Amino acid sequence: MHHESPIQRRKTRQIHVGKVAIGGDAPISVQSMTNTETRDVAATVAQIRRLEAVGADIVRVSVPSMDAAEAFKAIRAQVETPLVADIHFDHRIALQVMADGVDGLRINPGNIGSLDKTRLVVEMAKDKGIPIRIGVNAGSLEKDIQEKYGEPTPEALVESALRHVSILDELNFHDVKISVKASDVFLAVGAYRLLSEKVDYPLHLGITEAGGLRSGTVKSAIGLGLLLRDGIGDTIRISLAADPVEEIRVGFDILKSLHLRQKGINLIACPSCSRQEFDVINTINALEARLEDILEPMDVSVIGCVVNGIGEAKEADIGLAGGDKRSILYYRGKQVDRVENVNIVDVLEKRIRAEIAERQAARNDA
């Protein structure tokens, strides 16, 4: 069940954050941000590696001080994932992390000092090919813009973003991506839609401060889903008050649901009812836990009965339709076996990993 997405993506310029292309025809990238104390190098490196393991394309690290910048140098030396440094107010920090191998900056040119200081940062970024993200948040708009609009509005966020863009334009710097985030879904969606009409820079999508794992996932799925369906968005970050690893998982789940990008197992499962022939919920929970290390795209259908189970199983790479004591196993659309219900999890995991090994062998032989 491999569907092409009907979404026509907005045409944007392309930039590179390290090895990751953003914009143009590049896949929509998924990123997260560390929540460790950056000066704790070991903890930050460990968290970045956990994010790498679940497929993070880019990781952002807050660098609030020169001490943190020193720690960043050590962090950069120990991880392979492209790193973006999040910096406010002090241009010296930006200069330091660029010297130490950062792949991207998140700054707002209007708040890191005088134009001369901004010019120093921009010139070094230009020399090193380091892109800059302009990150506007509804909660931190400039005072004059707040007074002009009275409250955060889409127009206010976009005006703030364009103000920062104009500074970089004047310095002939165009290696830029932009975000206009808000915690309110309608405000964020309105701002991104308005901004997309005014610039061709790649856009970094996010519903900021979205909340905990459940509520933040719902908010992000609705907000980003509306924008992505419009073809807007080149990279995404899910902002959750939760383990950052969950941000990556949710991000890829959103992209998978819109057929915009496939990574990992796409589990198709019924919510279960009295027709179920085995415990669907516990089976899915067990499979998710066992298969979380897999990044290879694959559709796996697990349905508790034959009413919808056979049809779903035939469309998946691997599918299972519940039966009395023994369930029907499908592989590439064809029935291949019957599985004792007590062995479903073990059999499916074995079959999935065998399929991945077969695909990898075929790629190696090609």
Q: Are 237 and 207 in contact (CB under 8 A)?
A: no
Q: Decide if 14-258 and 265-365 have a common fold.
A: no
Looking at per-residue confidence, does 109 or 247 come out higher?
Answer: 247
Average pLDDT estimate for 146-161: 95
pLDDT value of residue 365:
85
Average pLDDT of the residues of the chain: 94
CATH architecture of 14-258: Alpha-Beta Barrel (3.20)
Share of the chain above pLDDT 90, in %: 89
List of long-range contacts for 34-43, beta carbons under 8 Å, 24+ apart: 34/59, 34/60, 34/61, 34/62, 34/244, 35/244, 38/62, 38/63, 38/64, 38/68, 38/71, 38/72, 38/75, 39/67, 39/68, 39/71, 40/71, 41/71, 41/74, 41/75, 41/78
Q: Consult the annotation and say whether 270 binds a ligand.
A: yes
Annotated domain spans of the chain: 14-258, 265-365
Q: How far apart are CA 147 and CA 104, in angstroms?
A: 32
DSSP state of 342: G
Residue 72's pLDDT band, with cuts at 50, 70 and 90, is very high
pLDDT value of residue 255:
96
Q: How far apart are CA 53 and CA 293, in angstroms?
A: 7
User: Which residue in 345, 218, 217 sits closest to 288, CA to CA?
Assistant: 345
Q: How far apart are CA 236 and CA 225, in angstroms?
A: 11
Backbone torsions φ then ψ of 62, nearest 5 degrees: -75, 130
Q: Consult the annotation and say whether 273 binds a ligand.
A: yes
Q: How far apart are CA 87 and CA 141, in angstroms?
A: 16
Taking the domain 265-365, which CATH number applies?
Answer: 3.30.413.10
Reported as a single tens digit per residue, the pLDDT across 88-123 is 889 999 999 999 999 999 988 777 778 889 999 999
pLDDT value of residue 317:
95
Residue 358's pLDDT band, with cuts at 50, 70 and 90, is very high
Residue pointed to by tokens 């090609």: 366
pLDDT value of residue 1:
53
For 136-145, 279-288, 332-341, which range has the lowest pLDDT when averaged over its residues?
A: 136-145
Work out whether the CA dihedral 186, 189, 191, 193 comes out positive or negative.
negative
Looking at per-residue confidence, does 219 or 364 come out higher?
Answer: 219
pLDDT value of residue 2:
57
- Whole-model pTM: value is 0.91
Q: Is 132 left (phi over 0), alpha (psi -120 to 50) or beta?
A: beta
Q: Which two tokens stand for residue 197?
A: 């009409």
Share of the chain above pLDDT 70, in %: 99
Q: Consult the annotation and say whether 246 binds a ligand.
A: no
pLDDT value of residue 213:
94
Q: Consult the annotation and say whether 312 binds a ligand.
A: yes
pLDDT value of residue 151:
92
SS3 236: strand
Q: How far apart are CA 355 and CA 296, in angstroms?
A: 10
Burial of 127 (0-12, 13-18, 19+ CB in 10 A): exposed
List of long-range contacts for 274-278, beta carbons under 8 Å, 24+ apart: 275/304, 275/305, 275/307, 275/322, 276/304, 276/305, 276/322, 277/304, 277/305, 277/322, 277/323, 277/324, 277/325, 277/327, 277/341, 278/304, 278/322, 278/327, 278/341, 278/344
Q: Inform me whether the pLDDT recorded for 130 exceeds 90.
A: yes
SS3 352: helix
E strand or H helix that includes residue 365: helix 344-365
Reported as a single tens digit per residue, the pLDDT across 251-261 is 999 999 999 99
